[in-house]
Structure 1
Amino acid sequence: MMRAPRLLQSVFSAVGDLYLYKLSAVLFGDSVAKWALFSQLSNWFMFYCFSRTLSNSLETVLTLVSLYFWPCMRTSSGKSSCVSRKWGLVLAALACAIRPTSAVTWMYVGGIELFNARDKLKFVFLEVAPIGTLVLGLTCLLDRFMYGTWVLVPLNFLKFNFLSSGGDYYGTHKWHWYFTQGFTVMVFSHIPFCIAGIIYSKQWKFTGLLAWVLGFYSILGHKEFRFVLPVLPIALIFSGYSLAMIEDPSVSSPPHKEKEFSKKHNKYPPKMTAAILFLLATNIPMALYMSLVHQRGPEDVMNHLAKEAFQGKVKSILFLTPCHATPYYSMLHCNLPMQFLDCTPSSEEKGVLDESDRFMTDPVSFMSKFANNSSFPSHIVLFESEEQKLRSSLISFDYREEKRFFNAHFKVDRDLQASVVVYVRIIYSLI
């Protein structure tokens, strides 16, 4: 059961890959579609993030599938006539229900569709309004069931992230971060192919969507790589277009001519081979390192604790780590008390440090106060950088190091968290 959510997300990701191919085929033909899929599968960040159980990953899948159904985003009016715009609306509404910020994407797409629609009133009042109301109503009922009270989550999301800049509490970046660091790192070595694809494909609607989403998110102070994951496949479609042009300069010809060409040419030209090797050589090592090596400590420590808990050796756990730095019950699958440092933003007092920041500022003092006010857990988990400061205190409280797990070779946004350490209280280590 521990792997079930990941397996489910892998199925969703496969659906996303399928619709990336289908969308590319509709826009440019099969020869571009196969290279767009290659670009997606070879991109290190898609490998690293797309199959992770993040809401952004599912949002990306829904975005790809929905874009396929929107007539305004297609080039061929003949094909778009058989496309159900309502399916696109339903999927867009679901994406917004999962991630309200997905509305940024659909404001752009919906605006183009409204501009092109023959019957604008019908589009707004007989399609957008009913579907939006239905999905919003269902999410409100679900939230009512889960929270026990009526909660309008999208409104709270809007108030916290946009009106009060609550996201800034978790860190901010310069306005140009997505353009100079964030998105460029995600696209990585596909960048030159992406730029060439944008120029030669002349698909300005999708180029505009890229610019709109990156520009909008650049206004917000708090920025993360995963926020712009839904538009990364679009950049990779352009990369695929560029690769298809290298393989066949007449890629803009009708689809049936492309197929005839592909049957006659089985070998790739030298430039194509060089491009493929370049992309694989630059992305595969990055994908494997980031997915299998970098910051793997939290998963390793939870796997260890899950095995120990199954054998009855764990009674309670205290995570002295930055909040949400490790998985929780999703990997432990055992009903035992656990506690992690709280980092809930204080809306009442500005400048007041949360529990996590107080610990990071003075671990020794925090641990002393904790010892006076709380009972000791059987296990304590912390990063090496804090463990070095607390080692003497932990020993004085009858703890000993049980196991140490590698985490990272270099620091990211905090001090180097080279390893994750598990301490066990001596009385429990004898069990």
Structure 2
Amino acid sequence: MCGIIKSREWKLSGLIAWVLGVYSILGHKEFRFVLPVLPLALMFSGYCLAEMSQFKGTNLHGKVHLSRLQLSLILLIVTNVPMALYMSLFHQRGTEDVMFYLSKEAHDGRVKSVLFLMPCHSTPYYSTLHYNLPMRFLDCTPSDNKGTLDESDSFLMNPSDFVGEIFGNLSSFSHIVLFESEERHILDLLLRNSFLEVRRFFHSHFKVDRDLQSSVVLYSQRDVL
């Protein structure tokens, strides 16, 4: 806001407001939708910091006071660096950790096929596995028929019935990956099909758009262990 007010570039700032307003109306929201206006927002931020740099700290009674620019930079560092580190190193890391683990197991020949019982595109998939193994994730392709649920939504609504109906006895998969929030719904089904828990990977401290997905759980056929 500081840069917008000081620069008085109302057309560019109006463009940012228009993009944010339009995408806020949509039911499906992703950060990447507003990335095109990020350079404009950074430009206004830089303009504000440049304006602040013209105000120097005063020396009163031998004490040096920080300038507005220095105070602003300190505030930006204190508020952004810890959050950046947390989001980069801890938040929602489970889906990557499980793929790194599966890649190591595949290297040792202990992975034959994998079923991902989680919302579609939750993991980096082959880009992390690096092995040509059969894998299956829940499809989320929009249907031409209004009101028809995709596989991902159907699974979340009734995990146990969906898995039993679509995948049968699960014997064609050596490993199954799912979130802890859905694990309790199909635990009996997994145990009946000779699946045992292998590893549990931390994923998140708080929920984002669904139930709390605190952990990613990896199950394996008993004879694979």
TM-score w.r.t. the length of structure 1 is 0.48
What corresponds to 1:237 in structure 2? 43
Measure the CA separation in 1 of the matches of 2:102 and 2:158.
27
Distance 1:223 1:384 in 2: 24
Q: Distance in 2 between matches of 1:213 and 1:372?
A: 46
* Number of the residue aligned with 2:179: 383
Tell whether the 8 Å contact from 2:100 to 2:128 is kept in structure 1 after alignment. Answer: yes
- Map 1:195-210 onto structure 2 (within 5 A): 195-210=1-16
What secondary structure is seen at the aligned counterpart in 1 of 2:196? strand
Q: 1:218 to 1:363 in 2, by over 3 A?
A: closer
Higher strand share: 2
Per the alignment, residue 59 of structure 2 pairs with none
For 1:272 and 1:428, the matched residues in 2 are separated by: 60
**Alignment partner for residue 141 of structure 2, among 344, 348, 363?**
344
Alpha-carbon displacement from aligned partner over 1:210-259 (angstroms, at most 9, x marks no partner): 23433443454433222011212211221121122121059xxxxxxxxx
- 1:406–1:204 distance in 2 versus 1, CA, 3 Å: same
| Matched letter for residue 314 of structure 1 | V
Matched, 1:359 2:155: yes
1:224 to 30, 53, 74: 30
Question: How far did 1:315 drift?
Answer: 0.3
Letter in 2 for 1:340: F
Q: Which has the higher helix share?
A: 1
Q: Distance in 1 between matches of 2:149 and 2:25?
A: 26
Measure, in 1, the Cα distance between the counterparts of 2:207 and 2:39.
Answer: 28
List alignment gaps of at least 5 residues for structure 1.
1-194, 251-266
- How many angstroms does 1:270 deviate by? 3.1
Q: Report if aligned partners of 1:247, 1:269 keep a CA contact under 8 Å in 2.
A: no
Correspondence 1:410 to 2:206: yes
* In structure 2, C-alpha distance between the alignment counterparts of 1:283 and 1:328, rounded to whole Å: 30
Counterpart for residue 125 of structure 2: 328
- Cα distance in 2 for partners of 1:235, 1:268 equals 29
Measured against aligned partners, the alpha-carbon deviations of 1:357-386 in whole angstroms (never above 9, x if no partner) come to: 121111111222245376430000000011
1:332 and 1:225 mapped to 2: Cα distance? 26
- What residue identity is the alignment partner of 1:395? L
Aligned 8 A contact 1:247 1:268 in 2: no
| SS of residue paired to 2:168 | helix
2:218 matches 1:398: no
How far is the alpha carbon of 1:206 from its aligned partner?
A: 2.4
> What displacement does 1:419 show?
0.3
- Among residues 85, 89, 105, which one is paired with 1:288 in the alignment? 85
Task: Between 280-289 and 369-378, report the one with greater CA deviation.
Answer: 369-378
Q: Tell me the C-alpha RMSD between the 2 structures.
A: 2.1
Q: Which residue of 2 aligns with 1:213?
A: 19
Write the distance in 2 (CA, Å) between the matches of 1:353 and 1:320: 16
In structure 2, stretches of 5+ residues that fail to align are 57-63
Residue 28 of structure 2 aligns with an amino acid whose one-letter code is: H
Distance 1:371 1:213 in 2: 42
Counterpart residue number, 2:61: none
Q: Is the counterpart of residue 369 in structure 1 residue 175 in structure 2?
A: no
Give the TM-score normalised by the residue count of structure 2.
0.89
Count of residues paired in the alignment:
218
Matched-pair contact (CA < 8 Å) for 2:118–2:138: yes
Using the alignment, how far apart are the partners of 1:372 and 1:215 within structure 2? 45
User: In 2, distance between residues paired with 1:201 and 1:207?
Assistant: 10
Counterpart code for 1:328? Y
Please list, as runs of the form range in 1=range in 2, the aligned pairs for 1:244-259 lying within 5 A after superposition: 244-249=50-55
> 1:125-165, CA deviations, whole angstroms, 9 ceiling, x for partnerless residues?
xxxxxxxxxxxxxxxxxxxxxxxxxxxxxxxxxxxxxxxxx
More displaced stretch, 357-366 vs 408-417: 357-366
- Whichever residue aligns with residue 206 of structure 1, its letter is L
Output the CA distance in 2 between the equivalents of 1:210 and 1:204.
10
Q: Which deviates more, 416-425 or 361-370?
A: 361-370
TM-aligned CA deviation for residue 208 of structure 1:
3.3
In the TM superposition, 1:302-313 aligns within 5 A as 302-313=99-110
